[in-house]
Chain A
Amino acid sequence: MAYFVTVGTIGAITAILCLGVNISWGWVGQIDLAYYGYVAIGAYGAMVLELPKAHPTAATPSSYVLGLHWPFIPSLVGATAFGGAAALIVGAIALRRLRGDYIAIITACFALMLTSVLSQDDKLVGGYIGIYGLKEPLNSVLKLGPTGYSYFYLGLCLFALLLVYLVLERIYRSPFGRSLRAVRENELAAAAFGRNLYSLRLRAYALGGAVGAFGGALFANYLLAWNPYAWSILEVVLLIAGVMVGGRANSRGVIMGSVIVLSILPEVTRLFPLLTSNSTIGPSAASILGAGSIIIMLRFRPGGILKERRAIDRTEKASLHQAPMTLTVAESSDG
């Protein structure tokens, strides 16, 4: 049972991360390779907000900034804001009149610079060692045992996933989401109909960064530690694979794809070493199959398993004011 709780908790967090990637790839149609940077910012951000001031000792050598000793929920909000702000800065530079594949390159540069700074500067967030020693959030109040707490945190992550899903669905259906999709579908026409491409993309990019940071903060609070080698920029590909398999720009599809590519696949390939003599084949096989699924989906079902849904209007004709059928009458009603 503990196994399923672990897989479920990480699965819920990963699904949140996929929903964030869906903003850049699904809604706007661009590749953001700095995404894990925002996840890391969220993770570190939550930790330095939650932890008390750093007192490096031989036992806990890591030293970090802030150390505000905030409660869990405000730290989560703060970390999300850090991610959004960082994405706003990177986006302001990367999204200026650059072609899609160049946006990917620039964002990759930022991600690598960030990793480099975070791991080199040991005063910022503990350098190579990273930060650890976080207490289980909210458990000072709940006072649950290890099993009880793991159920609680699973529930918390599922609730967070639901929250992110509802928030993003609402944005997707709002005029903002509509404008974004128009930009993705045909940017020249969107510009000709008054859409400010740069501003729309930048806002979407910051939103994506915020969602990534939110997921990262939840992740750090689950692992209770974080270091700069938790990820490589290429792993964003697997999140994109989740989006592509499930259904680009379809939030339910994205969650489904995340479960398939990032929860079930790694657990299945975990069994591979039992079949071969190669003991490290599991994670590699998961990456190969995950990245391979992108190629297969693009070839056979580019929209994903669940296609993007269009907004359905259910207005009955009768409820409209009697609209004229012929144009000669239309003139008089327009005038």
Chain B
Amino acid sequence: MAEPQGPALLEVRGLCKHYGGVKAVDGCEFSVLPGELIGLIGPNGAGKSTVIELLSGLVKPDAGTIMFDGREIQGEPPHKIFASGLARCFQLAREWPLLSVLENLLIAIPPDGNDTIRHAFSSPRRLRAAEKAARERALSVAQQYRLYPLRNDYAYTLSGGQKRLLEFARIALAQPKLALLDEPMAGVNPVLQTEIEGGIRSLLAGGSTVLLVEHSLGFVESLCDRVIVMVAGRVAASGSMAELRENTVVQDAYLGGTSVA
């Protein structure tokens, strides 16, 4: 189990979240290095999704610290966390149904104080240039994800696969320091899977760090250099997939499918 060296981009210490008597996340600790593509796996109910909710600020942790980019972000509202460079995609696509596809993409670009009533009228040149640049970027990403012809459609009219692409395109437009991807491959056909895989690689190429939560081991193995295994709300092991296959705890909890949790 090789702990990574150097300053981490994300460092989670003693993270806890209990729902009633259920310890969804119970003393979870791990760190993510800048530029890596790291997998987070674990059996159902291990607390992976809750970790994503906690990291993105949609759920407040009961205890623990989340160091992101040199700053403690636990307990901060989601919009602040996003502004500091941490974006997530949702397991079930959450598009804005009555907005056009293009508008959906434009929302994903950080507004940088551009979305005020005042700027609807007296838009200084800088802001107008920013809006124009945002449109162009959104259109080119739309092209990349085959959404360009659909850019003027209401988002609710998209098919399931197209919504998934939209979800991914939004993350790409946000250009986060750290992208949290919550099971992007779940229920997706093989063609789309290749496309999303390419999307993940282009996120990395663009300088983002990626935390990939996955249920399917195949993808994690083919994509990730390092994998964290969560069992019953904590990290049971981490390392390369090859190392983890040797790990008996992981074998019992996950690969073997017996009930350690």
Question: Which of A189, A332, A335 contacts B96, CB < 8 Å?
Answer: A189
A175 touches B119 (CB 8 A): yes
Q: Mark A79-116, 1 if CB is under 8 A from B, else 0.
A: 00000000000000000000000000000000000000
**Tally of chain B residues near chain A (CB < 8 A):** 52
Binding stretch for chain B, among A35-43, A137-145, A176-184, A269-277: A176-184
Binding stretch for chain A, among B75-83, B212-220, B236-244: B75-83
B98 touches A179 (CB 8 A): no
Q: In the complex, A308 Cα to B103 Cα: how many Å?
A: 14
Chain B nearest Cβ from A172, distance in angstroms: 9
Binding stretch for chain B, among A57-65, A121-129, A318-326: A318-326
B202 touches A194 (CB 8 A): no
**Which of chain A's residues have a CB closer than 8 A to the CB of B77?**
191, 196
A182 touches B107 (CB 8 A): yes
A335 touches B205 (CB 8 A): yes
The residue in A186, A195, A308, A310 that gathers the most chain B C-beta atoms within 10 A of its C-beta is A310
Say if the beta carbon of A327 comes within 8 Å of chain B.
yes
A334 touches B139 (CB 8 A): no
Assuming A315-B139, A327-B199, is B120 touching A174 (CB within 8 A)?
A: yes
Question: Which of B94, B95, B131, B199 contacts A175, CB < 8 Å?
Answer: B131
Q: In the complex, A328 Cα to B205 Cα: how many Å?
A: 11
**Which of chain B's residues have a CB closer than 8 A to the CB of A315?**
135, 139
A178 touches B103 (CB 8 A): yes
**Which of chain A's residues have a CB closer than 8 A to the CB of B174?**
193-194
Which chain B residue has the least Cβ–Cβ distance from A189?
A: B94
Assuming A175-B119, A192-B78, is B56 touching A321 (CB within 8 A)?
A: no
**Which of chain A's residues have a CB closer than 8 A to the CB of B103?**
178, 181-182, 310-311
Q: Mark B57-99, 1 if CB is under 8 A from A, else 0.
A: 1100000000000000000011100110001101000111111
B120 touches A177 (CB 8 A): yes
**Which of chain A's residues have a CB closer than 8 A to the CB of B201?**
327, 331
Q: In the complex, A4 Cα to B52 Cα: how many Å?
A: 61
Tally of A-B Cβ pairs under 8 angstroms: 148
Assuming A176-B117, A191-B79, A323-B140, is B99 touching A312 (CB within 8 A)?
A: no
Question: Which of B83, B116, B152, B199 contacts A176, CB < 8 Å?
Answer: B116
A176 touches B119 (CB 8 A): yes
B79 touches A324 (CB 8 A): no
Assuming A176-B120, A196-B77, is B140 touching A331 (CB within 8 A)?
A: no
Say if the beta carbon of B160 comes within 8 Å of chain A.
no
A323 touches B143 (CB 8 A): yes
Q: In the complex, A195 Cα to B104 Cα: how many Å?
A: 13
**Which of chain B's residues have a CB closer than 8 A to the CB of A311?**
100, 102-103
Say if the beta carbon of B151 comes within 8 Å of chain A.
yes
Assuming A175-B131, A192-B56, A194-B110, is B202 touching A330 (CB within 8 A)?
A: yes
**Which of chain A's residues have a CB closer than 8 A to the CB of B115?**
174-176, 178-179, 195, 200
Question: Which of B107, B119, B202 contacts A334, CB < 8 Å?
Answer: B202
**Which of chain B's residues have a CB closer than 8 A to the CB of A203?**
116-117
Question: Which of B102, B143, B144 contacts A313, CB < 8 Å?
Answer: B102
**Which of chain B's residues have a CB closer than 8 A to the CB of A175?**
106, 111, 114-115, 119-120, 131
Say if the beta carbon of A19 comes within 8 Å of chain B.
no
Which chain A residue has the least Cβ–Cβ distance from B130?
A: A175
A310 touches B117 (CB 8 A): no
B99 touches A181 (CB 8 A): yes
Overall SS of chain A's interface: helix
Say if the beta carbon of A188 comes within 8 Å of chain B.
yes
A194 touches B82 (CB 8 A): yes
Chain B nearest Cβ from A166, distance in angstroms: 11
**Which of chain B's residues have a CB closer than 8 A to the CB of A323?**
139-140, 143-144, 148
Q: In the complex, A130 Cα to B96 Cα: how many Å?
A: 46
B106 touches A178 (CB 8 A): yes
Say if the beta carbon of A190 comes within 8 Å of chain B.
yes
A189 touches B119 (CB 8 A): no
Interfacial residues of chain A within 289-335, with CB under 8 A of chain B in the complex: 308, 310-313, 315, 317, 320-321, 323-325, 327-328, 330-332, 334-335
Q: Mark A257-281, 1 if CB is under 8 A from B, else 0.
A: 0000000000000000000000000
Say if the beta carbon of A170 comes within 8 Å of chain B.
yes
Q: In the complex, A207 Cα to B118 Cα: how many Å?
A: 11
Assuming A175-B131, A323-B144, is B100 touching A310 (CB within 8 A)?
A: yes
B96 touches A182 (CB 8 A): yes
Would you list the 10 A-B pairs with minimal beta carbon distance, nearest first? A327-B198, A174-B120, A194-B82, A185-B96, A323-B143, A310-B100, A175-B115, A189-B94, A191-B78, A179-B115
Complex A-B: 12 CB contacts under 8 Å: A179-B115, A188-B58, A191-B57, A191-B78, A192-B58, A194-B110, A249-B98, A313-B139, A313-B151, A327-B201, A330-B144, A330-B198
Q: Interface residues, chain A, CB within 8 Å of chain B?
A: 170-171, 173-179, 181-182, 185-186, 188-197, 200, 203, 207, 249, 308, 310-313, 315, 317, 320-321, 323-325, 327-328, 330-332, 334-335
Q: Interface residues, chain B, CB within 8 Å of chain A?
A: 56-58, 77-79, 82-83, 87-88, 90, 94-100, 102-103, 106-108, 110-111, 114-117, 119-121, 131, 135-136, 139-140, 143-144, 148, 151-152, 154, 170, 174, 195, 198-199, 201-202, 205-206
